Amino acid sequence: MAHLPPHLPAHYDHVGSFLRPKFLLDAREQKAKGSITAEQLRLVEDKAIAEIVKFQEDVGLKSITDGEFRRTYFHLDFLEQLGGVKVGEVTIGIGADGKEHLMPPAIHVVDKVTHAKQIQLADYNFLKSQVSAGHKAKVTIPSPTMLHFRGGRAGISRTAYPELEPDFYVDVAKAYGDELRSLSAAGCDYVQMDDTNLAYLCDVNMREAAKSRGDDPNELAHRYAKFINLVVAQKPAGMTLAMHLCRGNFKSTHAASGNYEPVAEALLKEMNIDAYFMEYDDDRSGDFKPLRYLPKGKTVVLGLVTTKFGAMENKDELKRRIDDAARYAPMEQLALSPQCGFSSTVHGNDIAVEAQRAKLRLVIETAQEVWG
């Protein structure tokens, strides 16, 4: 049996979200109109999740998610359940490329941030009940940096937090710690935080936008590493905490591009995360040189297979790119996955269900040929 990479169940993995089946989308619409209850919707979600768990196991994955089938957005559904957090309206606008883009809603911190309730526990318990032996249930949650990056200082109440240091960061970390502890007590030992902000700090335009909010993008990466470490310090023993660095993934569009170099040291070296899912599916991601900062005992999952389009990658080309990455980080500390989820928002990417299966099979087969 091949050696497993540090902290992960296999040398192949996935980010977590899957295309929603039509019957689930229909039920969500009925719930929005008031023609079915929240309880009725939950039963439909249960059915869809049971099916997507079976799909993941059949395709050969080891880490199993609920497909994020209960969520509309990968981040907002979770964040708005924290005490002290208020999420504005979501708008969808037309970008310069003529395609629909998600206009991120304002996330306001209006009071002290608290863990007002167990957010993922019931969802995890259902997922666990569906996952068969030899597989690991994975829970995905948004990164705590989402509460700062979008709005900066202006988005955080001065009454609740006259100064951000240290109280704001400590309170958010404590709320996340409480959530991780509630999951751990139920048996969960694999949690992934989805973070767009560190990847956005690689993008020239996004760096300028951060400056306009009064933040120094170079300092921000190190500040966020410290922030994440406050969460990691609360992590229960035996739990793997991974991070997915997302560059935006709404209906096959992306929001940011740029090499990971500006954040690599803060990300890989300073942040005490166990595994990193990094997007490397096209030229906008830059080269693998930033991986030279990866210390021993951590894994980088290379997101080389795109979920944005159905065209299939070439297996030999994937192997060549894995070899290229291994020039900078040890092969045994690398793994392979798609670059993002297939449906980070309820809308889904512009890709067929058959392509979703084929892409995952490609990831698994390639990884098995590379790592055994």
Q: State pLDDT tens for residues 59-73.
A: 999 999 999 999 988
Cα radius of gyration (the chain): 19
CA distances from 2 to 58, 327, 370 (A): 21, 20, 10
Mean pLDDT of the 214-227 span:
92
Contact partners, residue 322, CB within 8 Å, separation at least 6: 302, 304, 331, 334, 336, 366, 370
Of 3.30.70.260, 3.30.230.10, 3.20.20.70, 3.20.20.210, the CATH number of 22-371 is 3.20.20.210
Structure confidence by residue, pLDDT tens digits, 193-207: 999 888 788 888 888
Q: Which of 157, 164, 156, 146 is nearest to 105 (CA)?
A: 146
Q: How confident is the model at residue 250 (pLDDT cuts 50, 70, 90)?
A: low
Per-residue pLDDT, averaged over 43-53, amounts to: 98
pLDDT tier, 1 (very low <50, low <70, confident <90, very high otherwise)? very low
Average pLDDT for residues 126-144, to the nearest whole number?
Answer: 97
| Confidence category of residue 90, pLDDT binned at 50, 70, 90 | confident
* In the chain, where the domains are located: 22-371
At residue 126 the predicted structure's pLDDT band, cuts being 50, 70 and 90, is very high
25-45 average pLDDT score? 97
Q: Answer for the pair 295, 265: CB distance below 8 angstroms, yes or no.
A: no
pTM, full prediction: 0.94
Average pLDDT over residues 309-314: 95
What are the φ/ψ torsions at residue 164 (nearest 5 degrees)? -75, -40
The answer to whether residue 308 scores a pLDDT higher than 60 is: yes
pLDDT at 2: 62
Quote the DSSP letter at residue 91: E
pLDDT at 249: 62
> Does the pLDDT at position 248 exceed 60?
yes
Does the pLDDT value for residue 215 go beyond 60? yes
Cα 38 to Cα 84: distance, rounded to the nearest angstrom? 24
Cα 346 to Cα 76: distance, rounded to the nearest angstrom: 12
Whether the Cβ atoms of residue 201 and residue 262 lie closer than 8 Å to each other? yes
